[in-house]
Amino acid sequence: MSPSHQPARLTGEVRATAILAAPLVAGHVATGLIGFVDSVIAGRHGTATLAAVSVGTAMFWLPMMIPMGTLMALPPSVSQLDGSGRRDGIAPLFRQSLWLALGLGLLLFALLSVATAALAPMGIAEDIRPGARAFLHGIRWGVPALTLYYAMRYLSDGLHWTLPTMLFGFGGLLLLVPLGYAFAFGRFGLPEMGAGGLGLASALMMWAQALAFATYLACSKRFAPLGLFARFEPPRRVPIRDLLRTGLPIGVTVAMEGGLFIVTTLLIGRLGQVEAAAHQIAINVASLCFMIPFGLAEATTVRVGHALGAGGGRDGVRRATYAGLALVLGTQAVSALVLVLGHDAIAAIYTADAAVATLAASLLLFAAAFQFPDGVQVLSAGALRGLKDTRVPMLLAAFAYWAVGMATGAWLGLGLGMGPRGMWIGLIAGLVVAAVLMAARFLRTTGRLPRTAQ
């Protein structure tokens, strides 16, 4: 291909990635809005409830990151089968992924059942513990449904059909709003349960999403030729092992990044209700912003996997990645601008407590500062997943997020007494290092691929 055709090819790739990513981004935003709904309802119920939901949500997502990330092995596997014309292998792989998802969900349910005993040893403030315990006891019932939902969602995403992710994401959100309000405040004849009610409402929403997605896959004409549920298959060691080999490092990598934010939340939970509540507001807004590059990264994973399966070589893989990067830089610029200009107004949505709102607004400025490095690192990691390059990125993530990010945050926030602001400086440091290392790894890995035939 002549050089004059390269910009046109890149423009076409940007368009294809944007079309694929739009429903993914919308679905992730819906997921982020679930945390927003929980936080707003909890904040209106009281500062103690908001602080409890902050700690409970952190303790839920810290272990949940591993099964969620592990199942991310499915989209690149499915997209490579699709790109190479081996579609008959998709249904058997999907059925084994369901067994893996169910096993991971049951394991996590058992873990969350005993995790509440760790609240006191972790130093969580005593007045926060009862609400956090109640939230975890409620939400744990939805874990098996959530892991099964991810398996079904990742199958659809890997086949370039991302609209269900958006529809079921917003469907769950519409269900959670009335359920969360009724269970937390005790409406429609229900007892007032506060943080525990929000956890139970979230669990019910997860089961509704999983059952709806399973019904869709079974009845949709789009998936009928694949025969996803055509027969029963018992768990098989080899395909599950292969999924774990690719997916477990992804799960650990996702947990490394998510754990940086979550452990920060738990450490701030030692400082008191105001600090924990303010941090919950800021981290919820930052997480909502993160859903946009995360969705673009997932689309890039699929596009890279498809390019590799179709024999696109180095040029095809890099073109797919640069298209995603262009989109990420644009969306992150918008997010940073919104946070800088609207930090006070955003904090006021969550709480009427002046002390909490003031601290939260200041933390949102730190969130604005890490939008660009956060976008670059998650996009680079997504491209590497499309190449099934997961083990070295896992080690890079461990160094960036923990040796740099957590160590810096703990030193500034707790050691030097800077509190939440010091912890957030640590988050920025970790994400900057991760962005540099992940981007360098991508360039090195793709440099070993053969070029596309000219």
**Structural domain spans, the chain:** 3-447
For the segment 253-268, the average pLDDT, to the nearest whole number, is 75
- Per-residue pLDDT, 454: 40
Mean pLDDT of the chain: 84
pLDDT, greater one: 257 or 387: 387
268-311 per-position pLDDT tens digit: 777 777 887 788 788 888 888 888 898 899 888 888 877 777 66
Query: In which band, very low, low, confident or very high, does the pLDDT at 334 lie, cut at 50, 70 and 90?
Result: very high
Token reading at 2: 């002549």
pLDDT at 250: 80
Please state the φ and ψ torsions of residue 451, each to the nearest 5 degrees: -70, 155
Residue whose pair of structure tokens reads 């990691």 in the numeric block: 381
Q: For 97-133, how does the pLDDT look when each residue is reduced to its tens digit (9 = 90+)?
A: 999 999 999 999 999 888 878 787 877 777 788 888 8
Residue 213 has pLDDT above 90, yes or no: yes
Give the per-residue pLDDT at 439: 93
Say if residue 102 is exposed, middle or buried (CB neighbours under 10 Å; 0-12, 13-18, 19+). middle
pLDDT over 50 at 90, yes or no = yes
The pair phi, psi for residue 273, each rounded to 5°, is -65, -45
* Burial (0-12, 13-18, 19+ Cβ within 10 Å), 348: middle
Does the reported pTM lie above 0.85?
no
Q: Which residue bears the tokens 């707003």? A: 40
- pLDDT tens digit sequence for 49-70: 878 887 888 788 778 888 888 8
